[in-house]
Amino acid sequence: MQLRGEPELEASQAAVAKSPPHKRNSAATRKVTVRITEKIHEQLEAATERPGVGKSMIVEAALAQFLNPRPPENAVHDGFDDIHARFDSLERNLRTIAETVALHARYHLAVMPPLSQQQQREACQLGDERFKVLAEQVDQRVQQDRSLIQETIDRLNATRFNGLKSILDQDETVDLKPTDTPNGAGLRGDANIKQESSAAAQEGGSNSNFRHLPNAFCWPA
């Protein structure tokens, strides 16, 4: 057995003494002296009576909440308003889809005659090919976030707005008195406008005169 000498033992003890101390796990703290009201002091004393709760813990938690406040309530309300708007838009789109499907189904039920077995097989094959093309177009528009119905509605609204604007511009440039209207043109114009307005107002989706409308989805019986 080999024993260490005194010089070797002293060198080992010196190396241990020079080794760096272990870092503390707790974060560094700093003492701060503040003044608080008597009421807050009483509440602080009452809160620290519970086991495991110290004054420093309560003060630090209160300061952290004060220095890092939660998002304001207005932002929360704005978020809820945005969610409600999205639900309203979704409901409107679902109603549009439901009406479109209903009109399309009624059109086919009204105009499609009964087919024989052979004609039904041929019609199913042709319908399957056309449905594949339709599915591709639908997928393309969904991927591009393009709504054909909304595009058509926007285009119709723009056309109506431009037409109304041109009529108003003409009324501003040509100022005719009622007695100066030649051959009752104003009366005919009013009649045409009323006729167009009434025709545009006739949707006929559930009216009994559906077959007699000029723009209906089936021919008169």
Domain map of the chain by residue range? 37-71, 79-112, 120-175
CA atoms within 13 A on the CB side of 94: 6
- The pLDDT profile of the chain, 221 residues, written as one tens digit per residue, is 444 444 554 555 555 455 454 444 556 888 888 888 999 888 888 888 888 888 888 888 888 888 887 767 677 778 888 899 999 989 988 998 899 899 989 998 888 888 888 888 888 999 999 999 989 998 988 898 888 888 888 899 988 888 777 777 776 655 544 444 444 444 444 545 444 444 333 444 444 444 444 444 444 33
Query: Is this prediction's pTM over 0.75?
Result: no
Is residue 111 within 8 Å of residue 221, measured between CB atoms?
no
**38-47 and 55-67 are packed helices; what angle lies between their axes, rounded to 10 degrees?**
120
Q: Tokens standing for 212?
A: 């007699």
Residue ranges of alpha helices (H) inside 68-209 are 73-111, 117-143, 148-173, 185-201
